[in-house]
Amino acid sequence: MEFRLEDIDPDEIERRLAVVEPLTDSVRGLIDAVIRSEVDDAVLDRARARIDEITAELRVHQKPGGYGTPFTRDLRGMPWGNAATGLRNPIAPPLRPEHGAGVSTGSVHLGAAYEGPGGLVHGGVLALLMDQLVGECASTIVNMPHFTGTLTVRYLRPTKLGRVDLRAEVTGTQDRKTFVHVEVRDREGVTADGEAIMIRPKDFPGRDEVLAAIARTP
Ligand SMILES: CCCCCCCCCCCC(=O)SCCNC(=O)CCNC(=O)[C@H](O)C(C)(C)COP(=O)(O)OP(=O)(O)OC[C@H]1O[C@@H](n2cnc3c(N)ncnc32)[C@H](O)[C@@H]1OP(=O)(O)O
């Protein structure tokens, strides 16, 4: 978890998102089309060549490594490469968590790209979404980044592809540990639940800048 201050204003954030969110959505559509397309091999070959051309164009100027977790002076996070929530990441569904008092929720549509057993959501994808939500839930209530130390998941019954709702709730805190319960539902009810032990790390890259931003927020 490497945090980095990027001192930009809300208008600049919106300007950037107005360009990259539609691009990310288009690539999500492409992923789904590649999985489900039944066109001829020649059409698939032609598509590959065109996609390779676009990839080369985008690679002309790139960040080293991952996208990172930049945040603004007033602690607005921009983890746009995140595998669960990233607004620039076409493999993120994306989950868009909402936070209340000790409770975080989020809904996603999980299509063909998230399939495990036929017609059902992959268990690892559910764990990914739970991991993110418990992380944000603990981090928001204590207002400091938390890492997942332990996440125990119980798969109660298969989760159908389609709309999936998640809810996480803090159940307790003890020193640097926060305990979180999390549930996943498909259209027929609860399919999985989990218990997480979230830990506020002693140190992480960018900690001082995060603390300064927290001190600035009302
Ligand atoms: C506002 C911004 C929003 C920012 C919002 C950010 C949201 C991000 C959400 C993303 C969620 C993720 O994917 S996180 C990525 C997956 N997780 C990781 O990569 C974590 C890798 N592990 C680690 O970095 C480390 O092991 C930590 C940080 C978990 C713990 O290291 P530490 O801080 O040195 O811990 P340590 O002093 O040894 O122990 C402290 C206490 O925690 C307990 N403890 C230690 N490790 C564990 C463990 N794995 N499971 C359970 N309990 C543990 C110890 O027994 C001790 O309890 P006691 O003796 O005091 O009782």
What residue has token string 């489900």?
36
Taking residues 179-207, what's their average pLDDT? 94
The answer to the question of residue 207 being in a domain is yes
Residue 159 lies in a domain: yes
b (16+ CB within 10 A) / e for 163-198: ebebbbbbeebeeeebbbbbbbbbeeeebbbbebbb
- Domain assignment present for residue 59? The answer is no
Is 173 part of a structural domain of the chain? yes
What is the complex's ipTM, to 2 decimals?
0.95
Residue 53 lies in a domain: no
pLDDT of res. 213: 77
Ligand 1 centroid from CA 199, angstroms:
4
Whether the predicted pLDDT of 58 surpasses 80: yes
Does 177 sit in the ligand 1 pocket, CB within 6 Å?
A: yes
Tell me the pLDDT tens digit for each residue of 111-146: 999 999 999 999 999 999 999 999 999 999 878 889
> Is the beta carbon of 131 within 6 A of some atom in ligand 1?
yes
Residue 35 lies in a domain: no
In a domain, 18, yes or no: no
Residue 3 has pLDDT above 90, yes or no: no
**Predicted TM-score of the model (pTM):** 0.94
Number of domains the chain contains: 1
Asked if residue 186 has its Cβ within 6 Å of ligand 1, the reply is: no
Measure the CA–CA gap between 134 and 131, rounded to whole angstroms.
5
Provide the domain limits for residue 138: 97-216
Structural domain contains residue 5: no
Quick one: which atom of ligand 1 is closest to the CA of 143? 1
Whose CA is closest to atom 45 on ligand 1? Answer: 149
CATH of the domain at 144: 3.10.129.10
User: Is 218's pLDDT higher than 70?
Assistant: no
